[in-house]
Amino acid sequence: MAKVIKAEAYLADIEVETVRTDAAQAFLKQETLFVELTADDGLTGTGYSYTIGTGGRAVLSMLREHLLPTLVGHDSREVEAAWRKMYDSTRATMVGPITALGLAAVDLALWDLRCLRADEPLWRVAGGHRPAVPVYDTERGWLQLDEAELAAGALEAREQGFSGVKIKIGRPTAGEDAARIRTVREAVGPGLEIMVDANQVFTPAEAVRRAARLEPYDVSWFEEPLPADDVAGHERLAASTAVPVAVGESVYSLAHFREYLQRGAAGIVQPDVSRIGGITPWLKVAHLAEAFGAEVCPHFLMEIHVSLAAAVPNGRFVEYIPQLRAVTTRQLRITDGLAQAPAEPGLGIAWDRDAIDDRRVA
C-alpha cells in the first residue's frame, strides 16, 4: 500500500534576495509553508507554497487543523481523490488564498510521492512535452529601477541568454511608463521580448489608454492591468489593443480562468501553482488554455514551474526570479536561453534541510 501515515506542516521565512517593488506592493519576505507526507511504503514527499509577507500563519493553521488530518490513512497514489477530499472539507473557505495555498503545499507533496514512486521527474509524469522551456528575466525590471538601470539590466539579460525581460509599470503618468519601455526597446533592439506588468493598479479606461502608449514598442504582453476580479474590464481592454492581455497570478480557481478565456479577456494565462491550489488544478488550467489556443506563462516559483511548463505543449515561458537559493543545494539550470526541467525523480527541488531549519518560525 501507500497510505499516508504521517503528515506534518511548518513555516519558514526566506529573506528576499533583492529589493522588489511594483505598483501595488513590496516583496517583504517569502513566508514558505512546507508539508511533508510519509507513506507506509517508506517514501516521504515534500511540498511547499508561499506568501510574500503576510498570512503564512493562517495558512499553517489551515493545514494543521483541517487539511492534513483528512490525509492520514488516505492512499497517497490517489492524488485527485485527495485533492477533492481536502477541497470538500473546506468548502466554506473556498475559493480563496488561505485554503488554496494550503491545498497546494499538500498537493505538491503528493505529486512528489507520485514521481518518486515512479522513479521519474515531474515534467515527464505531468505530461512530458519537452525537457526545457524558454526563460525570461523579471529580476532586472522592478519599479524602483530608473530607465538607465532598466536598459542596462535588459542588455545584461540578453547577453546571458534570456529570451525576454519583464518591466514593471504603474508610475504616476502614462508618459513615464512609456518612457521606461521605450528606453529598454531602444537599448536592446527588436530581438528581445519585453513583457509589461502593472500589478492590477489601473482602471479600465486608464488601462486602455496606457496600452495604446505601449503598442509602438512591440510589447509581448500587458500583465495584470486591472484588478483580477474585473473580467469585463479585461475583456474591454483585450478588444481595444493589439497587445496580448495576460492574467492569472491572482486567480484562484479553474472556473475563473474559464470565464476569462470564454470571454476573450486574456490571451495568455499565468497560473501560480501555489495560488491555484497545486499541480492537480494547475494542469487543468493549462489544458483548458490549450483548448482556447492560449499560452501558459506561469507566475514566479521557477523551481517548480519549469517542470510544469515543460510538461504541457502550450508552456511558453518560465519566469526567472530566484528566491530559493538560500534553502536549496541545486539551482535552476539555464542553457542557451532555455530553463532545463530537473531530470531527478520527484519535484526536482534539492532542499537544504539544515538551511530550512535555521529559518523555521513555526
Length of the chain: 362
Establish whether the linkage from the previous residue to 95 is cis, with ω within 30° of 0. Answer: yes
Q: Hunting for cell 534553502 — which residue is that?
A: 327
Contact partners, residue 42, CB within 8 Å, separation at least 6 = none
Reply yes or no on whether 168 is catalytic.
yes
Q: Within 10 Å of residue 176's Cβ, how many Cβ atoms?
A: 12
With beta carbons less than 8 A apart as the criterion, state whether 304 and 100 touch: no
CA distance to 14, 30, 37, 49, 179, per residue, from 359 (Å): 7, 11, 20, 15, 41
DSSP string, 99-122: HHHHHHHHHHHHHHHHHHHHT-BH
Grid coordinates given for 229: 476580479
- Bridge partners (DSSP) of residue 8 are 36
- Bridge partners (DSSP) of residue 269 are 247, 296
Tell me phi and psi for residue 242, to 5 degrees.
-85, -10
| Closest to 23 (Cα-Cα) out of 141, 170, 181 | 170
List the catalytic residue out of 234, 256, 299, 305: 299
List the catalytic residue out of 168, 234, 256, 305: 168
With beta carbons less than 8 A apart as the criterion, state whether 222 and 214 touch: yes
| Rounded-to-integer distance, Cα 225 and Cα 213, Å | 13
Q: Is 237 left (phi over 0), alpha (psi -120 to 50) or beta?
A: alpha
Reply yes or no on whether 299 is catalytic.
yes
Contact partners, residue 36, CB within 8 Å, separation at least 6 = 6, 7, 8, 9, 44, 45, 46, 109
With beta carbons less than 8 A apart as the criterion, state whether 139 and 334 touch: no
Tell me phi and psi for residue 54, to 5 degrees.
-140, 150
Q: Hunting for cell 511547499 — which residue is that?
A: 48
Residues recognised as catalytic: 168, 299
